[in-house]
Amino acid sequence: MNKPLHRRSFLHTTGSAFAAAAIVHRAPRAEGFCQANDRPRVAAIGTGSRWCQKATGLQGSYGSAPDFKKYGDYVSVFDADSSRTELAAALVKEWTGNQPATPKDYRAILDDPKIDIVHISTPDHWHAKLLIEAMLAGKDVYCEKPMTLTVPEGRAICDVCKKTGRIVQIGTQQRSSRQFVEAIALLQNGRIGKIKKATCHIGGAPKSPQIPVADPPKHLDWNLWQGPVAEAPFRFLAGDNGETKSWSRCHYEFRWWYEYSGGKLTDWGAHHVDIATWGMGLTDTGPIEIIPEMVKHPVEFKEGYPTDPSRYNTATEFLIRAIFQDGLQIEIRHDGDNGIMFEGTEGRLFVNRGRIAGKAVDDLKSNPLPANALEVAYKNRPLADHFRNFFEAARDRVEPISDVHSHHRALSTCHLAGIAARLSRKIAWDPKTEKIINDAQAEKLLGREPRRGFETFMG
């Protein structure tokens, strides 16, 4: 798996008349979610906890895959952990009656012309590489959030998506939840006046005890799991912690290591900062300053890097302020009621996964929104569940509700917040050039060189 990726020669024609013809040819197949005999063929890369509870030893299933199967058929599954591949394959056979392919190399999925859609549910540090290579292989993609590990990865994804014309949905499913779409419609219709600020309450991250170096289980390809990031020893400590009943550098717990994720800043931040950015009309720009008012980490940092490799290292508590042009602000904090509070010149509006509240909501009884307000907010399409929106977008060759371009901008704010947190100082950002201003040390944290043998194939 460390060998450089070589794709078939036709991929070099991406954006050409050939690629355009391929898109036209493929589009009717995406209608398969409502035609039982011609459903889109889906391959899963990454089949962990967002894919099925059985993969973690629990009963039943949840996450994306069970809902995804309403609209397409899984025909191939792959994971760096062979035990998870086997469990996912068993689920697919349950659902479809057919045994899916279980390739030993994810690139077999990308090389298979019969696969229409790739569903990416890997840890964060693999998302960009897989997403780019899937688009270049002519696949439409559903990628779980957050889309990237770094800002430059997001820019590369946006460029490749534009070049290839592929349809990509990011798994920020709040964009398809009625109360969030209603909040956006209220904001777009001026119901709290001119918006000045959004506060994203995203919760804090956990600490860990010291986690010892251990041998990875035989069913886990630890080298492959690490993929593009710097090599490190496997660490594991069994205990009553989370869905994996352990502390580790691996399954689920990877999100508490800056090496693989951004902690809560990109975990829940990918959801709430996305809604804040959308609601404030900032999806084509970015902040000009990031100010870490308060940050606590569970380990010491030196020049932006953790000094203790044996414990979780992402920020546990924080108050970070992103300043945009004209003084607009997005505040990201660990405390408070999980959700987003919008503040305008004529009131406030709060929304989370359980409720939407504020005077603007109360006033709907006497002053309802225009009849099509939710559809307008939802990119002029009927409100649908997040997966159906993706499959319909693939059918119609239109932008889905959670597109790579807006997600890149929102997630860039989260990534920059992480850099400011690691350095414990304000950083300045140019949203046009997407560069950090006059801070070489912060700029060094902006992107990462991939590990040799895991470079992203760019066509």
CATH classification at residue 84: 3.40.50.720
206-249 pLDDT, tens per residue?
999 999 999 999 999 999 999 999 999 999 999 999 888 999 99
Indicate whether 3 pLDDT > 90.
no
Answer yes or no: do 13 and 143 share one domain.
yes
pLDDT at 189: 98
The whole domain housing 264 covers 198-338+405-441
Answer yes or no: do 218 and 301 share one domain.
yes
Answer yes or no: do 165 and 222 share one domain.
no
Answer yes or no: do 207 and 168 share one domain.
no
| Residue among 105, 32, 111, 104 at smallest CA distance from 74 | 32
- Segment 37-43 shows an average pLDDT of 87
Indicate whether 325 pLDDT > 50.
yes
pLDDT at 8: 36
124-136 pLDDT, tens per residue?
999 999 999 999 9
User: Which tokens go with 122?
Assistant: 């890997």
371-414 pLDDT, tens per residue?
999 999 999 999 999 999 999 999 999 999 999 999 999 999 99
- Segment 62-91 shows an average pLDDT of 90
Domain contains 255: yes
Domain contains 388: no
Answer yes or no: do 276 and 205 share one domain.
yes
Going from the C-alpha of 47 to that of each of 83, 85, 92, 130, 240, the distances in angstroms are: 10, 6, 11, 14, 23
Indicate whether 201 pLDDT > 80.
yes
Answer yes or no: do 166 and 212 share one domain.
no
Indicate whether 164 pLDDT > 60.
yes
User: Which tokens go with 52?
Assistant: 């099925």
3-state SS, one letter per residue, for the chain: CCCCCCCCHHHHHCCCHHHHHHHHHHHHHHHHHHCHHHCCEEEEECCCCCCCHHHHCCCCCCCHHHHHCCCCEEEEEECCEHHHHHHHHHHHHHHHCCCCECCCCCHHHHHCCCCCEEEECCCHHHHHHHHHHHHHCCCEEEECCCCCCCHHHHHHHHHHHHHHCCCEEECCHHHHCHHHHHHHHHHHCCCCCCEEEEEEECCCCCCCCCCCECCCCCCECHHHHHCCCCCCCCEEEECCCCCCCEEECCCCHHHHCCCCCCCHHHHCHHHHHHHHHHHCCCCCCCCCEEEEEEEECCCCEECCEECCCCCCCCCCEEEEEEECHHHCEEEEECCCCCEEEEEECCEEEEECCCCEECHHHHHHHCCCCCCCHHHHHCCCCCCCCHHHHHHHHHHHCCCCCCCHHHHHHHHHHHHHHHHHHHHCCCEEEECCCCEEECCHHHHHHHCCCCCCCCCCCCC
pLDDT confidence tier of residue 61, bands split at 50, 70 and 90: very low
On whether the CB atoms of residues 266 and 402 are closer than 8 A, the answer is: no
Indicate whether 16 pLDDT > 50.
no
The separation between CA 417 and the C-alpha centre of its own chain, rounded to angstroms, equals 16
Handedness of CA 360, 362, 368, 373 (dihedral sign): positive
Answer yes or no: do 169 and 206 share one domain.
no
- Segment 263-275 shows an average pLDDT of 98
Domain boundary among 138, 173, 208: 173
- Give the strand order in the sheet containing 329-333: 356-357, 347-351, 339-344, 195-201, 329-333, 317-323, 289-296, 427-430, 435-437
Domain boundary among 123, 140, 173: 173
| Residue among 296, 286, 317, 289 at smallest CA distance from 424 | 296
Domain contains 82: yes
Which bin fits 116, alpha (ψ -120 to 50), beta or left (φ > 0)? Answer: alpha
In sequence order, the 6+-apart residues with CB closer than 8 A to the CB of 40 are 29, 30, 32, 33, 71, 72, 73, 116, 117, 391, 394
* Distance in angstroms (rounded) separating the CA atoms of residues 110 and 120: 12
Domain contains 219: yes
* Distance in angstroms (rounded) separating the CA atoms of residues 352 and 339: 4
On whether the CB atoms of residues 241 and 211 are closer than 8 A, the answer is: no
Answer yes or no: do 286 and 431 share one domain.
yes
Domain boundary among 107, 139, 173: 173
Lowest mean pLDDT among 31-40, 80-89, 342-351: 31-40
pLDDT at 132: 98
Domain contains 95: yes
Domain contains 359: no
Answer yes or no: do 211 and 306 share one domain.
yes
% of the chain exceeding 70 in pLDDT: 89
Answer yes or no: do 81 and 15 share one domain.
yes
Answer yes or no: do 78 and 225 share one domain.
no
pLDDT at 52: 57
Answer yes or no: do 168 and 237 share one domain.
no
Q: How many domains does the chain have?
A: 2
pLDDT confidence tier of residue 459, bands split at 50, 70 and 90: confident
Indicate whether 260 pLDDT > 50.
yes
Mean per-residue pLDDT of the chain: 90
- Segment 277-297 shows an average pLDDT of 98
Domain contains 457: no
Judge if pTM exceeds 0.85. yes
Domain contains 181: no
On whether the CB atoms of residues 278 and 175 are closer than 8 A, the answer is: yes
CA triple 271-418-304, angle to 5 deg = 160
